Amino acid sequence: MSFQHPSFGSVADNRVFIFDTTLRDGEQSPGFSMNIGEKLRMAHALSALGVDVIEAGFPVASEGDFESVRQIAENVDGSVICALARSGGRDIEAAGEALKKAKRGRIHNFISTSPLHMKYKLRMSPERVLELIESGNKQARHYTDDVEWSAEDGSRTEPDFLCRCVETAIRHGATTINIPDTVGFATPEEMRALFSMLRERVPGADQVIFSTHNHNDLGLAVGNTLAAVEGGARQIECTINGIGERAGNAALEEIVMALKTRHDRYGMTTGIETPRLLSISRLLATITGFDVQPNKAIVGRNAFAHESGIHQDGILKHAGTYEIMTPESVGWNSTSLVLGKHSGRAAFRDKLESLGYGDITDELVNVAFQRFKDLADQKKVVFDDDVRALVDEEARDHDRIKLQFLELQGGTAHKAHVLLGLEVDGVVQEAQSDGNGPVDAAFRAICQAFPHKATLALFSVANVTEGTDAQAKTTVRLQEDGRLVDGQGSDADTVVSAVRAYIHALNKLLVKRQRSAPEALKV
């Protein structure tokens, strides 16, 4: 079976489209907000990864969301750019407006269809919901031919009513039909059966792409996604590192590698360049301040580490004994030793390309190269993870607060004392403070240079690589009026890394202050 899709043309039956919602469903979870510059950087990396659709945001939610969707639509090629909208209200108009400059734009309109949501959340009758499905899809088609419709809480919707909703959406212009497991309640067998049922029963089902969107409340998001593919879904909605509401969404890297590694079972292909998976996972972790757990599949630090003697012996004899995919296939390099102080700009550029940073600007390469040189002066060898940490940090443009300088005194003979300069909106503010140790003194000085009422909720330090000259990677969590943000910083000097992390968190707080969406808009 093959048919013409408005954005993808002729669609082969074994092609699975990857719809990434890191910048929308992922970004709306607590502590994961990103500013426009960070979203743009992620969007470029997603496009280079080969993602088919990037859900860039929810334009009606706030001016910041509108602007980031608009800028991604204008600047990011290669992927379809999608904007979320509720069926009804101003949402679809805002989405259409934000997507105006997209080469290929999609409007994703949704409404709840389960008895519980219709009665308590929407306070609408099923008939009213059907009317809104009709008007929403018709309205979206005024802006683009590529229209997706979602049945929120679809997995808990009565099958007969779900069939009527899907039929209505198709009849009025939807070209992709998404059935979310919004609360992560379904089981794999239910998912497979749900998609088979819809494809069998709904008129026009063979003229649309069915899509699956799974939350991870019971840890079943990836399993449910794969089961949906077996039931006939050909679009997968997922996020990098599985970030998202509550327990998160299905993890892109896990699904893609499951489809690839078990091609024998699923027989499906995606357009994802899997060697880029690790670098985009790291990029997101740096931007959001949330590292993935060490045992996370595919991108966790231990995902390819073999500790037990029996496993190591097996691996040395034949890698296939304990490895079902190669580390290189997802971006882990077999040699992690990289550059030293004599390495030049060309070698640095080459290294950036091999780590998946081929698309960064010359300006950013120059700044990162300078920091690399400083680091190479302090450390004998610079590892891949060091390079990633410093490039990702320098990539955070649009920051309103930047560290200008830091001088400190401490040890056994002197009380810790810090003198520091911050550039705040282009103006340098100096401050100095004593403290109980250099980190305490530095944080006090930041509070003087940039007064704020946020409080410190978490402070943790880890090493980026091994050895006493390793860079420190610090996470700082700040809390203000119920908002929570995490910042990260890295440097061979632990205090500098802590200060960078604090400043990163402050910058994220400033973004959050600008964009508190009304409660009603939360999806």
- Which residues contact ligand KIV by CB under 6 A? 25, 110, 150, 152, 178, 180, 182, 213, 215, 523
Comparison of 238 and 449: residue with beta carbon closer to Zn ion: 238
Dig out the tokens for 215 from the structure. 């939350």
- Min dist CB 365 to Zn ion, Å, is 36
* Segment contacting Zn ion by CB under 5 A, of 19-27, 71-79, 330-338, 400-408: 19-27
To the nearest whole angstrom, how small is the minimum distance from the Cβ of residue 107 to ligand KIV? 13
- In this structure, are residues 184 and 212 in contact, taking their beta carbons and an 8 Å threshold? no
| Shortest distance (Å) from residue 180 CB to ligand KIV | 3
Q: What angle, rounded to 10 degrees, do the helices at 252-261 and 277-288 form?
A: 170
Instruction: Output the six-digit token pair for 409.
Output: 């005194």
Output 25 or 385, the one with its CB closest to Zn ion: 25
Please, what is the minimum distance in Å from the beta carbon of residue 161 to ligand KIV?
16
User: Helices marked H in 172-249 — which ranges?
Assistant: 188-201, 221-230
Integer-rounded Cα radius of gyration of the chain: 24
**Nearer of residues 187 and 463 to ligand KIV, judged by Cβ:** 187
Q: Using CB atoms within 10 A of its CB, is residue 272 exposed (0-12), middle (13-18) or buried (19+)? A: buried
Identify what 96 binds: Zn ion, ligand KIV, none; CB under 5 to 8 Å per kind. Answer: none
Given a contact cutoff of 8 angstroms between Cβ atoms, the answer to whether 200 and 165 are in contact is no
Closer residue to ligand KIV (CB): 213 or 282: 213
Are 57 and 82 in contact by the 8 Å Cβ rule? The answer is no
Q: From the list ligand KIV, Zn ion, none, pick the one residue 461 interacts with, judged by a Cβ distance below 5 to 8 Å according to partner type.
A: none
- Given the complex with ligand KIV, which of 25 and 486 has the nearer CB atom? 25
Please identify, using beta-carbon distances, which residue of 25 and 399 lies nearer to ligand KIV: 25
CB of 182 to Zn ion, least distance (A): 6
Residue 224 in contact with residue 187, Cβ under 8 Å?
yes
Residue closer to ligand KIV (CB basis): 216 or 281: 216
Smallest gap, in angstroms, from Cβ of residue 297 to Zn ion? 21
Residue among 191 and 441 whose Cβ is closer to Zn ion: 191
How far from each other are the two terminal CA atoms of the chain, in whole angstroms? 35
Cβ closer to ligand KIV: 27 or 393?
A: 27
For the CB of residue 523, give the shortest distance to ligand KIV in the complex, in Å: 5
Residue 500 and residue 495: Cα distance in Å, rounded? 9
Report the partner that residue 28 touches, choosing among ligand KIV, Zn ion, none (CB closer than 5 to 8 A by kind).
Answer: none
Do 98 and 90 touch, CB atoms closer than 8 A? no
Residue 50 CB-half CA count within 13 A: 15
* Residue 320: both structure tokens together: 């296939």
Does position 146 bind Zn ion by CB under 5 A? no
Q: How far is CA 104 from the centre of its chain?
A: 21
Tell the residue number behind the tokens 């750019």, with chain if given: 81
Residue 474 binds what, of Zn ion, ligand KIV, none (CB under 5 to 8 Å, by partner type)? Answer: none
Longest dimension (CA), the chain: 81
Question: Can residue 148 be called a binding residue for Zn ion (CB under 5 A)?
Answer: no
**500 binding partner (options ligand KIV, Zn ion, none; Cβ < 5 to 8 Å by kind):** none
CB of 227 to ligand KIV, least distance (A): 17
Options 21-29, 107-115, 126-134, 294-302: segment touching Zn ion (CB under 5 A): 21-29
CB-based contact 515:64 (threshold 8 Å): yes
Question: What does the DSSP assignment read for 234-303?
Answer: -EEEEBGGG--STT-B-BHHHHHHHHHHTHHHH--B----GGGHHHHHHHHHHHHS-PPPTT-TTTSTTT
Please give the structure tokens belonging to residue 27.
């970004």
Nearest residue (CB) to ligand KIV, 118 versus 352: 118
The entry of ligand KIV, Zn ion, none that residue 152 binds, CB within 5 to 8 Å by partner kind: ligand KIV
Overall size of the chain counted in residues: 523
Q: Which is nearer to ligand KIV, 108 or 477 (CB)?
A: 108
Count of positions on this chain that bind Zn ion (CB under 5 A): 1
Closest approach of ligand KIV to the CB of residue 342, in Å: 50
Residue 192 tokens, joined: 């497979």
Q: How many CA atoms lie within 13 A of 309 on its CB side?
A: 0
Scanning 25-33, 72-80, 284-292, 389-397 for contacts with Zn ion by CB under 5 A, the matching segment is: 25-33
25 binds Zn ion (CB under 5 A): yes
Report d(CA 38, CA 399) in Å as an integer: 10
- DSSP lists the bridge partners of residue 430 as 421
In whole angstroms, the minimum distance from the beta carbon of 213 to ligand KIV comes to: 5
Minimum CB separation from ligand KIV for residue 379, in Å? 43
Binding site for Zn ion (CB under 5 A): 25
